[in-house]
Chains A and B, each alone.
Chain A
């Protein structure tokens, strides 16, 4: 295979992955950093890194896990560089509040705010389980935790959200 056909095959492989997994990468990034503009930056960096490392992906069945792990790292790098601190939900930037502004109805808006306010340690496994469909074992592997810790975090996250929903219903 000559150089140009190798490059073309590589590019095709990359494009195929990006088309399939771009949405997952973006949504994961958005809920990790809670800011739509930063999420776009993180995904851009992650795509660049994925492109450079593409030859390391030998099993395309593992592509989603591979790409999301890159997103996770890029998000950590971003915040390491910027040293951004905690978010005050009453004082959000435009791109932070954009994440909350698009809930389809009032009930979901309250729930989305509650998810937004969860600590990273609780929000991330919930996103990985509910949105990305990972098992608790896989989440433990991605987050570098024991499975028991993931189960506890998921349980606590849901209890908080459940309490929040009950509180809103009472009001």
Chain B
């Protein structure tokens, strides 16, 4: 849809002003075309009326019950808690403590896994602008900046990468990429420092995904619920290698 003064004819002008009645382009065309002037004026009146018609009354604000939010200030780290509860008679009850330590380790792994999964899912809401359908790839320069060579090597075989940005997950800066899947955007988080023992499935309200263990790190892949992720998982795994 052209809005250039030089090339605008009646049809082009009407399309442009139909999309935005406040359009100021096309003055040359308007000066010669009374019909389009009338069309524009009618659309401006219509637009004013649309704005009035859309103004529905708003009910009083009724805030939902807001849960407490864990912040760094009000959460004791797992490490601190572990040290606070470490028994002093460890050496005297070795067999009991081995079992206890194993238990704590297993519990810690679960807590960490849940926390990582929650962080990943929550992050999708933090950057809604990333989840757009697009056919425009990010530049190699952007990709190289977001996925620096000292963190990972990644080729373009994973798919059409339309978004690349450095984000913070679990306090660590990680590459956040979006590729275009069959049913829409698919988020990929490369987490070289988030080691997990086994793959974890992710289940959001209308998304699903997986966090895959890769060497000493992991990669999260999340798409719309109806997105088939298996092929993407394979191509991502084959296109990424940690540098460290």
Interface contact B1-A151, CB-CB below 8 Å: yes
Task: Let me know if B102 is at the binding interface, CB within 8 A.
Answer: no
| Segment among B85-93, B103-111, B126-134, B191-199 that sits at the interface with chain A | B126-134
Instruction: Confirm or deny: B46 has a beta carbon within 8 angstroms of a beta carbon on chain A.
Output: yes
Cα-based distance from A44 to B140 in the complex (angstroms): 41
Contacts of B171 in A (CB 8 A): none
Whether B43 contacts A73 by the Cβ 8 Å rule is no
Contact with B along A25-68 (1 / 0, CB 8 A): 01100110000100010001101110111111000000001100
Q: Is the interface of A mostly helix, strand, loop or mixed?
A: helix
B69 located at the interface, meaning its Cβ lies under 8 Å from any Cβ of chain A in the complex: yes
Closest chain A CB from B38 CB (angstroms): 12
* B18, CB-defined interface residue at 8 Å: yes
* In the complex, B42 has a CB within 8 A of chain A: yes
**Within 8 Å CB of A53, what residues of B?**
122, 125-126
Distance, CA A112 to CA B135, complexed state (A): 36
Q: How far is the CA of A98 from the CA of B93 in the complex (A)?
A: 71
> Contacts of B206 on A, CB cut-off 8 Å?
76-77, 80
Instruction: Give chain B's interface residues, CB within 8 Å of chain A.
Output: 1, 14-16, 18-21, 42-43, 46-47, 49-59, 61-64, 66-69, 71, 73-74, 122-123, 125-129, 131-134, 184-185, 205-206
Q: Which 6 A-B pairs have the closest CB atoms?
A: A56-B126, A155-B18, A144-B132, A3-B73, A3-B74, A151-B19
